[in-house]
Amino acid sequence: MKTMWAPWRIEYIKSDKEEGCVFCKALSEKNDLTLFKGESTMVVMNKYPYINGHLLVSPISHISGLDQLNQSEMGVLLLTVEKSIEVLKKVMCPDGFNIGLNLGKVAGAGIEEHLHFHIVPRWFGDTNALTVFADVRVIPEHIAETYNNLKPYFDKIVLTD
């Protein structure tokens, strides 16, 4: 059996798990993972990403389903997804994206009470197959560095409802 060491994970394993909604907390406090806060949407980096640049786009409203958005809110939410993709293309130059929305725990929603899209950049030859074959995830860049690379571009985004 081969061993892959990941000593930085012990901090998460031993830590008290967060109470409440992580998206609502990101709105109410300074957060090193929040890239964008608009009038009705926000973009945060996934604290436990599949790969560098894994973003979460959510409405500001604490809602759990698409049926709870009006047409304008839906449009701004999808525009925020589109702008996030533009930033990732400019900064990280991925070859493609996985974009998804998990509705309900059975569908894989880790935070089912607050609707959010996942945007996962992908590159030819990336290492995501390791997750399937070896239950290993490779993140080549520190999350703080990814944040610092993306944040100036998100600071330029202006969306209106």
Residue 14 lies in a domain: no
Using CB atoms within 10 A of its CB, is residue 55 exposed (0-12), middle (13-18) or buried (19+)? buried
pLDDT band, very low/low/confident/very high, at 145 (cuts 50, 70, 90): confident
1 found inside a domain: no
Residue 3 has pLDDT above 60, yes or no: no
Q: What share of the chain is helix, strand, coil (3-state, %, to 5)?
A: 35, 15, 45
Residue 37, domain extent: 26-154
Is 43 contained in some domain? yes
Instruction: Give the pLDDT of residue 159.
Output: 82
Q: Which CATH number characterizes residue 116's domain?
A: 3.30.428.10
- The verdict on whether 116 is a catalytic residue reads yes
134 in a structural domain: yes
pLDDT of residue 161: 61
Q: Is residue 102 part of a domain?
A: yes
pLDDT of residue 58: 95
Q: What are phi and psi of 129, to 5 degrees?
A: -65, -25
Number of domains in the chain: 1
Q: What is the DSSP letter of 3?
A: -
Lowest mean pLDDT: which of 88-92, 93-97, 105-109, 150-154? 105-109
Catalytically annotated residue among 54, 114, 116, 118: 116
Domain assignment of residue 144, yes or no = yes
Query: What does the pLDDT read at residue 133?
Result: 42
Mean pLDDT of 123-132: 62
Radius of gyration over every alpha carbon of the chain, rounded to an integer in angstroms: 16
Residue 4 lies in a domain: no
Average of per-residue pLDDT across 14-43: 84
On the 0-12 / 13-18 / 19+ scale of CB atoms within 10 A, 127 is: middle
Beta-carbon count within 10 A of 6 CB: 9
Res. 130: pLDDT tops 50: no
Q: Residue 17: inside a domain, yes or no?
A: no
* Token output for 129: 């197959």
